[in-house]
Chain A
Amino acid sequence: MISENKEVLELVDQLVRVDRLGAEKIFNAVREQTSMSRTVDHLILPALEIIGRGWEEGTVALAQVYMSSRICEELMAHAPPSSSLKHPDHPPMAIAVLEDYHLLGKIIISSCLRAGGYVFHDYGRVTPHELAKKVRDDSIEIVLISTLMLRSALQVKEVKRLLVEAGSSTRIVVGGAPFRFDPLLWKEVGADAMGANAVEAIAAITSCVKGNTK
């Protein structure tokens, strides 16, 4: 049992200072006391949530969010195999960036998802047509789309159109700067949910799984 979030706060401290060894020490200490799924639920995800919220509030920088998510991903990669993770039975998922070489947002979300025990396809940088095809071919039920530029964000409309045209009911979760600057944009492009950070993205996935979206 993890006591009073002490370990979570200590992990947050190590992560924002980019202290891999310090973070690993806390992770291992908790992992020895409990299962992997509880370690994820009660240590990794809460720590990433605090860091994500810190970015929203301006107390944590994007570079720290990125390095924290990579360290957590590394900790999970060195842990026992995915059979012990919490989310092996979620619907088929994928993540992609639309037409952009700026992959930071996708990498942060991917790292957090892996650290949280999610398994998904990573399509990298794709066009709307490529994405719609891959989603259909892999029978993806939830697709996360990261964008940096307004133009790319508006391309989500085209992804939605192609999926609807193909009779797909795949849920679309979007994230990235344009959606942060215009809180109505995700609805305009036909997305089912928006995640301003990794934890919001995970919450959006959970909502999609339950059939609810915000």
Chain B
Amino acid sequence: MTDEQPSVTMTSMERVFTTMGHQEPDRVPFFLLLTMHGAKELGLTIQEYFSKAEYVVEGQLRMRRKYGHDCLNPFGYTAMEPEAFGGEVIWFEDGPPNCGEPIIKTEQDILSLQAPEIYSTPCLVRMLDIIQSLKEKAKGAVPVMGTVVSPFSLPIMQMGFPAYIELMHERPDLFQHLMKVNQEFCVAWANAQIRAGVTAVCYFDPLTSPTMTAPGTHLTAGFRIARETLARIQSPTAIHMASGKTLAVLDDIAATGTAAIGVSVMEDLAELKQACRGRLTVLGNLNGVEMRRWTPQQTEDKVREAIRKAGAGGGFILADNHGEIPWQVSEEVLMAISEVVHRWGTYPLRDLYT
């Protein structure tokens, strides 16, 4: 698998690693973090699509051929990790599957919580099969992105956000126990994905955004857990806060040793890029919710604005700001994003004000 664009000279892998080395590659790399859209490609329901590894592999390959973006994304759905812990998944025809009822309802549920055994848990094995196959097809030319939910953020789905906030404030002993179980799982799950062939792991941790958790005891705990966990993950990592703000905690993020940060559309991309320059690659920050109704002109304006604000000097990967493009975003918009990046994202960057 190679790039189809005649004007570019690097493979996606070279392009991404050059920008992550804070140098300018041949053009701005862009990640269309597409999950469910593969089902449209194959004419399947979302549930059918995620039921077999070969469907997701084929969907990812078709979408990369169509849009020419710079990664393959074996990730299926956020509810998968709670599913691995025994939770229910609720499927929809037109959106991502959701977590069912929380699996943790009592103190005893926390004390008896066991991390799932990765190689005997069907949903996890399926994702490993997807990774392995995508790695083979990519032949080293395209990054395959792994994904884990952080130990600190996973309880939002394991027990519900309100109960988790109260646990953090009122039962530090149980909080510590839960973190220990989740951390062991997170490390094992990330490293299993690396053994299967991912190039890097995205550590989804919305709760360490100051949008969600106040500076102080709990945010400090979130970053301590991130530092400890990422140190045991045997590949480069990116932290993603799923639309949460990051500017105020960039020093904490950099101190985790991660290489990249997914940033929010709620903050100024130029300011973020300036603060990250030379130490963190910026991943973002197109508004996925608004993207659904963008016209071709709006798409061009938004993509050019992002490149103008963050493209210079490398250290930038264009992507949406949430880490998953909504089902309702059309093929036309995705094609338009791709065309604008190929037209305006070639280094050296042209004057993007014109």
Interface residues of A (CB under 8 A from B): 16, 18, 55, 58, 60-64, 66-67, 70, 99-104, 107, 149-152, 154, 177-178, 181-182, 184-185, 188
Contacts and interface: CB of A to CB of B under 8 A. Distances in A.
A58 B211 contact: yes
B95 A18 contact: no
Given A104-B165, A151-B327, 6 more contacts: A55-B211, A61-B211, A63-B165, A66-B165, A149-B98, A151-B94
Nearest to B95: A151
A99 B101 CA distance: 12
B169 to A, nearest CB: 6
* Size category of the binding interface on chain B: 35 or more
A58 B248 contact: yes
A101 B96 contact: no
Interface stretch (B111-119, B193-201, B212-220, B232-240): B212-220
A158 B342 CA distance: 39
Interface of B: 92, 94-96, 98-102, 156, 160-162, 165-166, 168-169, 210-215, 218-219, 243, 245, 248, 265, 287-290, 292-293, 326-328
Nearest to A149: B95
Given A104-B161, A151-B95, A178-B289, A58 B218 contact: no
A61 B161 contact: no
Nearest to A154: B328
Query: Which of A18, A63, A181 counts the most chain B CB atoms within 10 A?
Result: A63
What's the dominant secondary structure at chain B's contact region? loop
Given A67-B169, A177-B243, A181-B265, A61 B212 contact: yes
B214 A107 contact: no
A62 B241 CA distance: 14
Nearest to A148: B98
A201 B100 CA distance: 27
Nearest to B92: A151
B92 A181 contact: no
Contacts of A177: 243
29 contacts: A58-B210, A58-B211, A60-B214, A61-B210, A61-B213, A63-B165, A63-B168, A63-B212, A63-B214, A67-B169, A100-B98, A101-B100, A101-B102, A102-B160, A103-B160, A150-B95, A150-B292, A150-B326, A150-B328, A151-B96, A152-B95, A178-B289, A181-B243, A181-B289, A181-B290, A182-B289, A182-B290, A184-B293, A188-B293
B214 A58 contact: no
B98 A101 contact: yes
A180 B214 CA distance: 20
Contact of A66 (B94, B162, B245): B162
Contacts of B98: 99-101, 149
Contacts of A100: 98
Nearest to B102: A101
Nearest to B244: A62
Contacts of B218: 63
Nearest to B265: A181
B162 A104 contact: yes
Contact of B214 (A64, A103, A149): A64
Given A101-B101, A104-B161, A181 B287 contact: yes
B155 to A, nearest CB: 12
A181 B161 CA distance: 20
A178 B293 CA distance: 13
Query: Which of B161, B215, B292 counts the most chain A CB atoms within 10 A?
Result: B161
Contact of A149 (B96, B210, B211): B96
